[in-house]
Amino acid sequence: MQERLRASFYTLGCRLNQAETGLISNSFRERGYEIVDFGEPADVCIINSCTVTEQADSKCRQIVRQVLRKNPDTFVAVVGCYAQTGFEALQQIEGIDLIVGNQDKMQVIDLIDEPAKRPEPRIVRSRMTRAPFTLPFYGTDLPTTRANLKIQDGCDFMCSFCIIPFARGRARSRAFWDIQREAIELVETGIKEIVLTGVNIGTYQFEDKTFMDVVRMLLSIPGLRRLRISSIEPTTVNEELLDLMADSDVLCSHLHLPVQSGSDRILKSMRRVYSIREFLDFVERAHQRVPDVLIGTDIMVGFPGETDADFAESCRMLTDTPIAYAHVFTYSERPGTASTKIAEKIDPRIKKQRSKAIHRLSEQCKLAFYQQFIGRTVRVLTEEQDFEGRWLGFADNYIRVAIAEPDLQENQLVLCEIQSVDDKGIAIGKLIGRNGNEISNS
């Protein structure tokens, strides 16, 4: 009997890439492939790439070489964002067999008739369209707790530092009915939390359906316990969403709003379409309107022309507002983006210092936010156990909680009282209820 072909997957980058790799690996399983862990011997290895920074590009090249060193006969396909923008560089790496851009990557299985090594890579990079899309969903090999649900792709905002519109194309939305179909199937398989993902999800538009229609539709699905919005552009969030978040037990009180800088001068140079005053006013309104809301952000350091004064404004924005954490990104010059034309580049040592400073401030903000919940009850979805046997998971508002109750199971919604915050920035929860399906925070 012919042995089953084996496929392995490696994902670089964002939550959207993770969601897409999940769907791609399902398509291989449906074709009879055995899915093996990355690093195991495999007939085919798919690397779902990222190009948001130069480091992401070089990491992808490193992973390719690692695969080929370990298994020189493996059919190697690089798909996604770096395949889209960096195919010429990838072509130079001996041993890559297939390079597939973002328009075609979800169907990569159809591009591999016989996983035999090729003398040179086949390149498939169809023009990316703006057409609405649907996604194959096989209902197998699913995540077991929180499921990423892709609703949108591409972006029209064209921020001056960002390569994503070049890698993923212009904004386009998934068919409304297709989102509904996948979400219902996810809930039927036992998923309790769905996380909405895309590139610029707030710009979702399918026929007359907007982002808010998607949120309301998902909230109406029986059995869905939590709906979380991943990163969303500040200018695409409206008051109606805050009202829904304030009144719903399902819509998680968590907003990740990338601000990028605390300086209006730099925001202008980044071509961001809001002032820091407008951003902070919205954060304040969200904080007033949605009890216990946790607001996170992204801050970029080292953008060309960023002075000490500009950077100080980013720091002040963190310390003077109820923002609970900031992911820090170091500016990385991306080919074809408008910011490459700005002359005043920042010294890498200064970039490093600023990155460390924002990271430190973010840890302080997070600790201060978490400590407000000591003595309070939160609902937590158990995801994994740490080496001490504690169950780890997130509260509705994205506080990371550890519960020392070894007999809990994965994917359980439980109630616990926050007792303290440990030195790793994790809230310590004492179990007070094993059924959190109906009850929210208090």
For residue 158, state whether it binds ligand SF4 (rule: CB under 6 A): yes
- Count of CA atoms in the C-beta half-sphere (13 A) of 374: 10
Cα-Cα-Cα-Cα torsion 216, 222, 145, 184, nearest 10 degrees, comes to -80
For residue 160, state whether it binds ligand SF4 (rule: CB under 6 A): no
Tokens of 342: 């700005």
Task: Give the integer Cα–Cα distance in Å for 171 and 202.
Answer: 11
Closest CB to ligand SF4 among residues 180, 330: 330
Q: Which of 74, 200, 339, 355 binds ligand SF4 (CB under 6 A)?
A: 200
Closest CB to ligand SF4 among residues 171, 418: 171
Closest CB to ligand SF4 among residues 158, 368: 158
Q: Which of 155, 194, 244, 267 binds ligand SF4 (CB under 6 A)?
A: 155
Taking the complex as a whole, the smallest distance from the CB of residue 299 to ligand SF4 amounts, in Å, to 13
Q: Which of 66, 68, 157, 345 binds ligand SF4 (CB under 6 A)?
A: 157
Span from 154-162, 216-224, 279-287, 302-310 in contact with ligand SF4 (CB under 6 A):
154-162
Query: Would you call 150 exposed, middle or buried from its count of C-beta atoms within 10 A (0-12, 13-18, 19+)?
Result: buried
Q: Which of 22, 86, 115, 165 binds ligand SF4 (CB under 6 A)?
A: 165
The closest alpha carbon to 95, from 125, 114, 58, 69, belongs to: 69
For residue 116, state whether it binds ligand SF4 (rule: CB under 6 A): no
Closest CB to ligand SF4 among residues 109, 151: 151
> DSSP letter string over 351-415?
HHHHHHHHHHHHHHHHHHHHHTTTT-EEEEEEEEE-TTS-EEEEETT--EEEE--TT--TT-EEE
Q: Which of 78, 179, 199, 361 binds ligand SF4 (CB under 6 A)?
A: 199
Closest CB to ligand SF4 among residues 60, 162: 162
Closest CB to ligand SF4 among residues 38, 157: 157
For residue 237, state whether it binds ligand SF4 (rule: CB under 6 A): no
The neighbour count for residue 97, using CB atoms within 10 Å, is 20
Span from 139-147, 152-160, 273-281, 410-418 in contact with ligand SF4 (CB under 6 A):
152-160
Longest dimension (CA), the chain: 69
Tokens of 185: 């199937």
The neighbour count for residue 166, using CB atoms within 10 Å, is 18
Q: Which of 43, 182, 193, 233 binds ligand SF4 (CB under 6 A)?
A: 233
For residue 159, state whether it binds ligand SF4 (rule: CB under 6 A): yes
Closest CB to ligand SF4 among residues 21, 203: 203
List CB contacts of 365: < 8 A, sequence separation 6 or more.
Answer: 318, 319, 323, 324, 325, 326
The neighbour count for residue 312, using CB atoms within 10 Å, is 13
Q: Is residue 183 within 8 Å of 149, Cβ to Cβ? A: yes
For residue 115, state whether it binds ligand SF4 (rule: CB under 6 A): no
Span from 138-146, 150-158, 220-228, 403-411 in contact with ligand SF4 (CB under 6 A):
150-158
Task: Give the integer Cα–Cα distance in Å for 314 and 325.
Answer: 13
Task: Give the integer Cα–Cα distance in Å for 6 and 32.
Answer: 9
Phi then psi dihedrals of residue 151, to 5 deg: -120, -15
For residue 164, state whether it binds ligand SF4 (rule: CB under 6 A): yes
H or E segment and range at residue 271: none
Span from 11-19, 56-64, 92-100, 160-168 in contact with ligand SF4 (CB under 6 A):
160-168
For residue 198, state whether it binds ligand SF4 (rule: CB under 6 A): no
For residue 162, state whether it binds ligand SF4 (rule: CB under 6 A): yes
Closest CB to ligand SF4 among residues 26, 261: 261
Closest CB to ligand SF4 among residues 200, 263: 200
400-417 exposure pattern, b = at least 16 Cβ within 10 A, e = fewer: bbbbebeebeebbbbbbb
Span from 37-45, 151-159, 333-341, 423-431 in contact with ligand SF4 (CB under 6 A):
151-159
Closest CB to ligand SF4 among residues 185, 298: 298
Residue numbers of the site for ligand SF4 (CB under 6 A)? 155, 157-159, 162, 164-165, 199-200, 233
